[in-house]
Structure 1
Amino acid sequence: MRPYLIPQLLDRAVERTPHAVALVEPKKGATPWTYADLDRESLRVATALAELDVGPGDLVGICMEKTVTAVAGVYGILRRGAAYVPIDPSMPRPRAEKILANAGIAVTITTPDRLGFFDEARAQAPALSRVLVTGAVPDGAPTGLTTASLASFAPELRSIRHVTGGYLAYVLHTSGSTGQPKGVAITHDNCLAFVEPATSRFSITAADRLACQAPLHFDLSVFDLYCAALAGAAVVILPEHFSAFPKKMTQAIADHGVTIWNSVVSALALLADKGGLADAKRDSLRAVIFSGERMPIPLLRRLRDILPAAKLYNVYGQTEANSSLVEEIGDIPNDDGASLPLGRPLPNFETFLIDEAGKVIDDAEATGELCVRAGTVASGGYLRDEGRSKEKFILDPRLPETGMRVYRTGDLARRDASGELTFAGRRDDMIKTRGYRVELGEVQAAFDRVAEIVESAVIAVPNPAIGYELRAFVQLSPTATLTPAEIASRISEGLPAYMVPERIEVRDALPRTSTGKIDKKALAAETT
């Protein structure tokens, strides 16, 4: 019988191979956790949450660095029939307060040093009343919160009744254009509809070791944690701060025999350019999966040279529908500015294009907005945001009578005569400058063609005189010496003058979001 709740993945791994390694932390003196260890500690969390009156349908915050204890916390929340809401421990308190308030969170799991943080957050998130800490409750802890220590509970509680696959499993918050984070509400059914075909597609077995580079609040962690559990494989947990020290990530690959790497493109660029991947022991890697950002063709060539035996995969998806399309890289295009195919749908997934009026485009060759229909599409829509949910999670225009909803990605895709899809930009990335319509993705592609550029970001800055002006930020390879004027000259070979950014700035590194992507909002903020 197939699992219908995420904790059943762990249950079955314990039944099959209780002493197999489940979690590894790449730090000195750390003892790997077996599946029996993870099971025991998740039960401890579930028992503690029961004492704090957490039950089916509740939303529980979890705010801590990614560790074996954090993973046990996630499973413990799920064992109570509740849903976990990850809160990035590095995020500013105002944003955390918005998440706490929007989700109506009453109970949070965190570390003792963050008790003061949550006590102060109660002013904007009044529902918050109870905190479970992973260590001892410190002397002088805030008195406004009911506080309990995880260590004081025995691992007893296991089964939860009256929970079905339609219950929420987790809520992941993404950036919202209004400044209010969007909570994407994912059920157990939604999650498992992705985990099962993904585990099969990448042939994950108990012999694999998956590197978990993404933080818990990023949906790539879903693949790492739950595909591994389904297969009985091990997860090598890379702490968030490793992203600032790419050589530590490379060392973890070598030391722990990582076989599957899954990350955003930016993290792979760091491994290749600053992590010493070419000089490290890397023979264990059999699959390298990248998503979330455009893959520059020069970087793809370097990865193929460094990892000739590994299969490379371009994966397309969103938090709202998870990863839906997969393309195994074969021949690499000669054009440095080429876009990789988005790939073919996983089982349980279907994609199609619609025009600006929301009508399905049936033409064999066409460009339109990409829609995803799948069991993974967030059944809960955006948490407590009915208006935005109706806008993005629409009735399937082909079969509206079924009531089945599809997700409007906002991505433009180009379909060729063979049915292959390539990314063609974002609807919200189309701007006007000097009366011309400009797709920022096309300008970005021109920078990708410059071999000396490691990474770049193109942003549009409002200018009343011309509509928008373009600015670009680039990071060069260590040996490159290009000036902004020389870069402008290079990209103007393939772009009209009105598409060449007015200002190009060379930087040692580009800012990152907490999920590892280039932080374009931070760059835009610098221009105001």
Structure 2
Amino acid sequence: MSGPDLPILPLDHLALRGDDADAALTLRSGVLSWNDLRERVSRLAAWLAAEVPDKGARVATWAAKGELTCLMPLAAARAGLVHVPVNPLLKHGQVAHILADSGAVVLIGTEARLKSLEAADTPSECRLMTEDAALAAAIEFDGTMGPSEADPDDLAAILYTSGSTGRPKGVMLSHANMWLGAESVADYLGLAADDRTLAVLPLSFDYGQNQLFSTWFAGGCVVPLDYLMPRDLVKAVERHAITTLAAVPPLWVQVTEMDWPVETAARLRRLTNSGGALTVDLVRKLRALFSQARLFPMYGLTEAFRSTYLDPSLVDTHPTSMGREIPHAEILIINDLGEVAQDGEEGELVHCGPLVAQGYWRDAERTAERYKPAPAASRYGGIAVWSGDRAKRDADGLLYFVGRRDAMIKSAGNRISPQEVEEVALATGLVAEAVALGVPDERLGQAVHLVVRAAPGIEDAAAELPRRLMQDLPNFMQPKVIHWREAMPVGPNGKLDRTGLAAEIVAGASA
């Protein structure tokens, strides 16, 4: 691996960063100091190693934010295991796929979530254990485990993310990927030991996990929050003296609609955004509401962690820019001739360097599609992520997003596979054909629209389909609108005309 000239340590060494008595993690049950954090990680790692002695085995977690989900990434890495965090919003069908695909030998989750699984959802080799039972066993375990000496290139986690086609695929992240990601973000955000980060994003996402890792790299404190209402954020910022808040555009819309006391808003030192571009109007609202906070718009790929950020000093003058590459990343724009694009010329965004993940778990075909040799102009060389996203660079070196080549739907910060939504709709037996589309939406970025043709002989499909989808799809995948058609349009190649349907639906939505 070609990497920067600085020490790259195993991920679990993040537990060693802060001063003993300082706060590291604020939970509902109380505050863990850095000394407490080190002790809990040590015991959890030792217990895991005894429960799962095979190095490299996958251990999955499916729980809301709390001690287990915050400590497991470090404890599993220390025990020589691979952590598979499962989005707590997923339902049993998606969880069953992740368990089978990853080959997880243990799933630790909240009791209610585990009870929602059917017998066929859990592979025979995968044991189920409640979150409470696991934490109690770890605390009572007679033994501890010191910091690991893992190779930086060893696999440490598999994060499942939706692709434009098919079911979620697992992105393989090494110790080096996550350690350097933490160091990079802590560096350009200017995080320090007195910072307190409100972790509102799911810890199953790379952006969400980095809330933990970058803050801990700086020796700061993380406050996990599963909020129910936007006003919960206001209360939490005040109660915990929060300095750092990361969110996605739909949440920022809600944030700007809240009544923020001046003193509370002034606590925030920095705001970070990813999972979709901020609109010019939203940037202006955030700057007005949090005038003292530094705003960091960012662009990232799970396949390469994070790619670019816009310096806060440029946000007011260049609000639509993606900024420049983050530390340890190299971003090239490659035109259709395979050459580095000229200033102002559109091309494919290619991410090179040590933040590039190791590919997709057990999926050589899709890995080969996205992970290819770096362009000849790369200073890193090796394997790069060819994003499929179109971008351009101006004469000042600032990058601008142009569009996505694939059909991925990006709604409320979630990447949604159209095919996955379509497969669930077809599996109901109520429809014969289905096409899922992403339609521009002011609050969500994109909203899921589902175009369907009823199966022959089904009379109550229109009433029954929404109910079935609510049962089988997580909330963020639910169609905002279902469009019923007596016939679906077909293109010259005999396939469903997705482009024509998309143009029709988008025109109707904007009319």
Is 1:222 matched with 2:209?
yes
Question: Aligned ranges for residues 51-200 of structure 1 at < 5 Å?
Answer: 51-117=50-116, 120-121=118-119, 123-136=120-133, 150=137, 153-154=140-141, 156-159=143-146, 163-200=150-187
Tell me by how many angstroms 1:389 deviates. 0.4
Residues 83 and 418 (structure 1), Cα distance of their counterparts in 2 relative to 1, 3 Å cut? same
Q: Partners in 2 of 1:364 and 1:91 — Cα distance?
A: 42
Q: CA deviation at 1:163?
A: 2.4
Match of residue 387 from structure 2: 409
Whether 2:250 is the aligned partner of 1:271: answer: no
Give, in whole Å, the separation in 1 of the partners of 2:135 and 2:276: 41
Residue among 437, 453, 464 paired with 2:489: 464
Aligned-pair distance for 1:266?
1.5
Against the structure 1 CA distance between its residues 364 and 98, is the aligned structure 2 distance closer, same or farther, given a 3 Å change threshold?
same
Is the CA contact (8 Å cut-off) linking 2:309 and 2:323 kept in structure 1?
yes
In the alignment, structure 1 residue 312 sits paired with structure 2 residue 295: yes
* 2:348 aligned residue (366, 369, 394): 369
Residue 133 of structure 1: how far off its partner (Å): 3.0
Question: Is the CA contact 1:272–1:303 (under 8 Å) kept in the aligned structure 2?
Answer: yes
What is aligned with 2:230? Answer: 246
Residue 306 (structure 2) pairs with residue 323 (structure 1) = yes
| Residues 401 and 352 (structure 1), Cα distance of their counterparts in 2 relative to 1, 3 Å cut | closer
AA aligned opposite 2:216: A
Would you say the 8 A contact 1:250–1:280 is kept in 2? no
Q: Secondary structure at the match of 1:173?
A: strand
Is 1:426–2:410 an aligned residue pair? no
> What is the total number of aligned residue pairs between the two structures?
437
Q: 1:57·1:83 contact (CA, 8 Å) conserved in 2? A: yes
Tell me if the contact between 1:339 and 1:423 (Cα under 8 Å) persists in the aligned partners.
no
1:214 alignment partner, SS class: coil
Once the two structures are TM-superposed, the CA of residue 44 in structure 1 deviates from its matched residue by 2.4
TM-score by length of 1: 0.75
Separation in 2, partners of 1:12, 1:402: 29
1:176-196 deviation per Cα after TM superposition (whole angstroms, max 9, x unaligned): 233311101100011122211
Letter in 1 for 2:509: R
CA contact (8 A) 1:199 1:230 kept: yes
- Out of 212-221 and 338-347, give the one that drifted further: 338-347
Q: Show the counterpart of 2:339.
A: 360
- Structure scoring higher RCO (CA < 8 A, sep ≥ 6) equals 2
Task: Output the CA distance in 2 between the equivalents of 1:246 and 1:3.
Answer: 38
Any idea what SS the aligned residue of 1:66 has?
Answer: coil
- TM superposition shift of 1:328: 2.2
What is the CA RMSD across the aligned residues, in angstroms?
A: 3.1
AA aligned to 2:352 is: R
Aligned-partner Cα distance in 1 for 2:315–2:14: 37
Per the TM alignment, residue 290 of structure 1 is displaced from its structure 2 partner at its CA by 0.6
- Look up the equivalent residue of 2:365 and give its one-letter code: G
Q: Following the alignment from structure 1 to structure 2, what is the Cα–Cα distance between the partners of residues 81 and 178?
A: 32
C-alpha separation between the residues in 2 aligned to 1:160 and 1:286?
Answer: 32
For 2:446, the aligned partner's letter is: A
- Aligned partners of 2:78 and 2:138: how far apart in 1? 18
Q: Please tell me whether the aligned partners of residues 44 and 150 of structure 1 are also in contact (alpha carbons under 8 angstroms).
A: no
Determine what percentage of the aligned residue pairs are the same residue.
Answer: 28
In structure 2, the CA distance between the partners of 1:238 and 1:329, relative to structure 1 (3 Å rule), is same
The alpha carbon displacement at 1:339 in A equals 6.2
Compare 280-289 and 227-236 and name the one that shifted more. Answer: 280-289
Matching residue of 2:480: none
Q: Are 1:316 and 1:342, in contact at CA under 8 Å, matched by a contact in 2? A: yes
Query: Which secondary structure state, in structure 2, belongs to the residue aligned with residue 318 of structure 1?
Result: coil
Alpha-carbon displacement from aligned partner over 1:245-274 (angstroms, at most 9, x marks no partner): 00001110111111111121221111111x
Deviations 1:170-226 (A, max 9, x none): 111111233311101100011122211221111111110011111111111232111
Amino acid in structure 1 at the alignment position of 2:275: G
Q: Secondary structure at the match of 2:223?
A: strand
Conserved? CA contact 2:299–2:308, under 8 Å: yes
User: Could you tell me how far 1:12 is from its partner in structure 2?
Assistant: 3.6
CA shift, 1:455, in A, is 5.4
| 1:502 and 2:508 matched | yes
From 285, 288, 309, the counterpart of 1:302: 285
User: 1:477-514 CA distances to partner (integer Å, 9 max, x unpaired)?
Assistant: xxxxxxxxxxxxxxxxxxxxx89612349xxxxxxxxx
- Give distance in 2, aligned partners of 1:291 and 1:400: 25
Aligned to 2:9: 4
8 Å CA contact 1:471–1:502 kept in 2: the answer is no
Name which of 241, 259, 281 aligns with 2:264: 281
CA–CA separation in structure 1 for the residues paired with 2:506 and 2:305: 34
Deviation for aligned residue 1:376: 0.7
Structure 1 residues 170, 281: closer, same or farther in 2, change over 3 A?
same
**C-alpha distance in structure 2 between counterparts of 1:418 and 1:400, whole Å:** 20
Asked if the contact 1:107/1:129 (under 8 Å) is kept, the reply is yes
Tell me the CA shift for residue 88 of structure 1: 2.1
Structure 1 residue 316 displacement after superposition: 1.0
The superposition leaves residues 305-346 of structure 1 with CA deviations (integer Å, 9 ceiling, x where unpaired) of 111111111111111111221102446669xxx961111112
2:132 match: secondary structure? coil
Deviations 1:439-485 (A, max 9, x none): x99x95xx8xxxxx65553678776179445779xxxxxxxxxxxxx
**Alignment partners' CA distance in 2, 1:460 and 1:132:** 37
| Residue in structure 1 matched with residue 26 of structure 2 by the alignment | 24
**Structure 1 residue 73, shift from structure 2 partner:** 2.6
Indicate how the Cα distance of structure 1 residues 411 and 362 shifts in structure 2: closer, same or farther if over 3 A, else same: closer
Query: Counterparts of 1:331 and 1:103 in 2: how far apart (Å)?
Result: 42
1:350 to 318, 323, 330: 330
What is the TM-score of this pair, normalised by structure 2?
0.78
Which residue identity does 2:332 align to in structure 1?
A: F
CA contact (8 A) 2:352 2:380 kept: no
